[in-house]
């Protein structure tokens, strides 16, 4: 689950998607800078050292036994408790254009993870909280939580069933295109989700059947002048069934085709603007994953996406979809990733059936010291709203570091800058975030 308490560098996917005019060349300059940093990183160590890594083990994901938490053994499980305390400066807490309001935010994030340590099968439980206190604007205070479980049942050596369930309380970011200008408090909603996947292999061939379900329940809100905003009209269910089949050679490549069918059913016959947003749609994809030279991996997919709305004013929303991700271990100490995705997201914007969100991200992680990891990320998202001619562009840059003091303590420092430009009126914003935090874990 995406983080909802601060503005993400690249807006989160799904219904509650987050996202001052920027120059037309900013996108190209940001991505070009990322490419230049990637090339520069390749000069840090000799090329011959690259053979010590693989695409499955990156700077951000590899283990650091002398600094990683050991957890608490409890029979066949290991418990990982942690708590993070952050202090955040936000230059534009309402994400408005020309009327920036800044504040200091204290963020407390407790977390418990219970993971099985079995030879066969898996069972994991988790619970986490996200409590934010604003120093001067207490109406922005909120407390999120998330509890859930996931697991995997090994039916046979070439067949398994995996699934999970989750229940959460979230608050919609002020940067979301679904945010309502003039709303006094953050939008609160509950999300219940469940998913299951069955996998069977036939030699190098495989077949997967999947089903996922999400339920969203919103709480009504008030404007600054006391009027009620009927968010409950956005309560709805989303369900998707899918089948994926392909050919794989373990550790080298995978080729597959995937088809999916989804339904989105709203409790109310009309939303806050009088539109019926019930819909059904499909996705057809062809994809592949390839491990190049042991240090670089490529994940590509392309296809077609369509969503048909019951309301004739919204019509049918169709277009090509796809994505790509490249992971490059430049050296054992530097990893560069590039990713592009494109998909349809839900919206409450009046007259829009939805919007195609096209996201591009370049990120670099560098292990400056064994216990000091630096991070840089550049991003761009284009949100194309169907039927109304509105297009938003969100640009972001983020940099930070994680300093691991020991197996129980880490210091986090981060700076994010995000700017949205739009051909709509009063929708743009610019926002600076500075974070300093301390994590305790066992």
Q: How do residues 133-177 score in pLDDT, each as one tens digit?
A: 999 999 999 999 999 999 999 999 999 999 999 999 999 999 998
What's the confidence (pLDDT) of residue 2? 33
CB 305 within 8 A of CB 318: yes
56 pLDDT band, cuts 50/70/90, is: low
277 pLDDT band, cuts 50/70/90, is: very high
What's the confidence (pLDDT) of residue 252? 80
Per-residue pLDDT tens digits for 283-318: 999 999 998 876 899 999 999 999 999 999 999 989
Q: Taking the complete model, does pTM exceed 0.95, yes or no?
A: no
* Mean pLDDT over each residue of the chain, to the nearest integer: 87
Residue 382 tokens read as 């284009």
CA dist 411 and 409 (Å) reads 7
46 pLDDT band, cuts 50/70/90, is: very low
Average pLDDT over residues 370-397: 95
- What is the domain partition of the chain in residue ranges? 26-441
Strand partners, 256: 246, 287
What's the confidence (pLDDT) of residue 81? 98
Q: Which residues of 321-336 are buried (b: 16+ CB within 10 A; e: fewer)?
A: bbbbbbbbbbbbbbbb
Average pLDDT over residues 196-201: 98
CB 121 within 8 A of CB 151: yes
Per-residue pLDDT tens digits for 241-250: 999 999 998 7
Percent of residues, the chain, with pLDDT higher than 70: 87
Q: Kindly calculate the radius of gyration of the chain based on its CA atoms and give it in whole angstroms.
A: 22
Q: Is the pLDDT of residue 12 over 70?
A: no
* 26-441 CATH fold: Porin (2.40.160)
Question: 20 versus 135: which is more confidently predicted?
Answer: 135
181 pLDDT band, cuts 50/70/90, is: confident
Q: Which residues fall within 8 angstroms of residue 61, CB to CB, at 6 or more apart?
A: none
Residue 15 tokens read as 């219904």
CB 64 within 8 A of CB 404: yes
CA dist 306 and 137 (Å) reads 42
């Amino acid at each position: 689950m995406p983080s909802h308490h601060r503005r993400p560098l690249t807006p989160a996917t799904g219904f509650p998607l987050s996202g001052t005019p920027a120059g037309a060349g900013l996108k190209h300059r940001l991505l070009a800078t990322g490419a230049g940093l990637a090339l520069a990183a390749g000069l840090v160590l000799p090329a011959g050292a690259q053979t010590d890594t693989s695409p499955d083990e990156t700077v951000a994901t590899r283990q650091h036994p002398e600094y990683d938490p050991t957890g608490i053994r409890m029979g066949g499980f290991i418990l990982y408790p942690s708590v993070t305390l952050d202090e955040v400066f936000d230059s534009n807490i309402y994400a408005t254009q020309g009327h920036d309001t800044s504040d200091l935010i204290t963020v407390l994030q407790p977390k418990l993870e219970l993971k099985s340590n079995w030879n066969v099968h898996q069972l994991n439980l988790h619970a986490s909280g996200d409590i934010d206190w604003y120093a001067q604007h207490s109406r922005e205070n909120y407390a999120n939580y998330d509890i859930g479980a996931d697991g995997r049942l090994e039916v046979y050596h070439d067949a398994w069933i995996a699934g999970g369930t989750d229940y959460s309380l979230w608050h919609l970011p002020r940067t979301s295109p679904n945010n309502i200008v003039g709303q006094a408090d953050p939008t609160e909603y509950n999300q219940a989700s469940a998913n299951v996947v069955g996998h069977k292999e036939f030699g190098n061939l495989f077949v997967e059947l999947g089903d996922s379900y999400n339920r969203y329940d919103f709480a009504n809100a008030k404007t600054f002048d006391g009027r009620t905003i009927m968010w409950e009209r956005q309560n709805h269910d989303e369900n998707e069934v899918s089948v994926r089949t392909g050919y794989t050679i373990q550790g080298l490549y995978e080729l597959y085709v995937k088809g999916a069918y989804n339904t989105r059913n709203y409790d109310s016959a009309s939303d806050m603007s009088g539109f019926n947003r019930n819909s059904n749609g499909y996705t057809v994809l062809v994809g592949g994953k390839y491990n190049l030279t042991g240090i670089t991996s490529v994940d590509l997919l392309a296809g077609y996406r369509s969503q048909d709305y019951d309301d004739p004013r919204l019509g049918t929303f169709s277009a090509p979809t796809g994505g790509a991700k490249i992971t490059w271990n430049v050296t054992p100490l530097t990893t560069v990733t590039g990713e592009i995705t494109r998909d349809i997201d839900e919206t409450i914007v009046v007259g829009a059936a939805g919007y195609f969100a096209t996201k591009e991200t370049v990120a670099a992680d560098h292990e400056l010291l064994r216990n000091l990891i630096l991070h840089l990320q550049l991003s761009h998202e284009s949100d194309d709203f169907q039927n109304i001619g509105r297009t938003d562009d969100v640009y972001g840059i983020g940099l930070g570091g994680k300093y691991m003091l020991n197996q129980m303590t880490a210091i986090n420092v981060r700076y994010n800058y995000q700017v949205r430009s739009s051909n709509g009126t009063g929708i743009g914003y610019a926002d600076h975030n500075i974070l300093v935090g301390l994590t305790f874990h066992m």
